Homo-oligomer: A and B are copies of this chain.
Amino acid sequence: MITVHGFSPSGNCHKLRLLLEQLGERYRWVEVDSSRGETRTAQFLALNPNGKVPVVDFGDGRTLTESNAILYYLADGSEFLPADLWQRAQALSWMNFEQYSHEPSIAVARFIAGWTPLDSPRRADLPALRERGHQALAVMERHLQERAWFTGERYGIADIALFAYTDVAAHGGIGLDGYPAIVSWLARVRATPRFVALPEPDAQAAQRIAESNRSL
């Protein structure tokens, strides 16, 4: 059985939970709280020298890092990754977009809002992160005005990758009011069989998020 080392509130980690649940695959989850330095211990760095979750341990000596590479590997042969080379190319393109142009603004704004102290100097970055987040959402909205999904013709791993942080963008102060096609797509993802949602932020994170977004 595979083991996922992950931090439950992290969208990058939740991607794997969502795919594994939808594949009906059995797995073990080991909680690693990256907000409390648990990805920087010697033990964790032996698992992933880059000090990041998620990491998947296949239990036979093999481990794999990087959420989107893990999605691609686990979904091979399933309905969540088309066999067609050109559809795969587009799925990979969107997954690279997610890691380069979407996650570093939308996920980071959320992390700062909910998981750093209210007087953290990192909060000065929020306005620029929100602006870049809206740029990424505009690119997604344009795609979804013409297409139903990001993974070829059907729901799949590029949708899972992009859903994770888009669904909670408001935590970082990035509202979805101006993006009707994204809002419809989020609802379609939520309606897929065996869908599981990201857990709600804990009380401390929820309070910080409320405080961060009060003036917006």
Task: List the interface of chain A (C-beta within 8 A of B).
Answer: 49-50, 52, 62, 64-70, 72-73, 76, 85-86, 88-90, 92-93, 95-97, 99-101, 103-104, 136, 138-139, 142-143
Contact = CB atoms under 8 A, between A and B. Distances in A.
Contacts of A62: 86
Given A65-B97, A99-B99, A100-B100, A85 B92 contact: no
A112 to B, nearest CB: 16
Contact of A93 (B49, B69, B89): B69
How many copies of the polypeptide does the oligomer hold? 2
Given A50-B139, A64-B90, A139-B50, A85 B100 contact: no
Contact of A97 (B66, B73, B100): B66
B72 A92 contact: yes
Given A85-B76, A100-B99, A66 B93 contact: yes
* Majority secondary structure of chain A interface residues (helix, strand, loop or mixed): helix
A92 B65 contact: no
Contacts of A104: 100, 104
A188 to B, nearest CB: 21
B76 A93 contact: no
A129 B86 CA distance: 35
Given A62-B86, A64-B90, A86-B62, A96 B76 contact: no
- Of A49, A67, A76, A142, the most chain B CB neighbours within 10 A belong to A49
B89 A50 contact: no
Contact of A49 (B67, B70, B90, B139): B139
Contacts of A69: 89-90, 92-93, 95-96
A96 B99 contact: yes
Nearest to A91: B69
Nearest to A138: B49
Contacts of A76: 85
A96 B68 contact: yes
Given A85-B73, A100-B100, A65 B49 contact: no
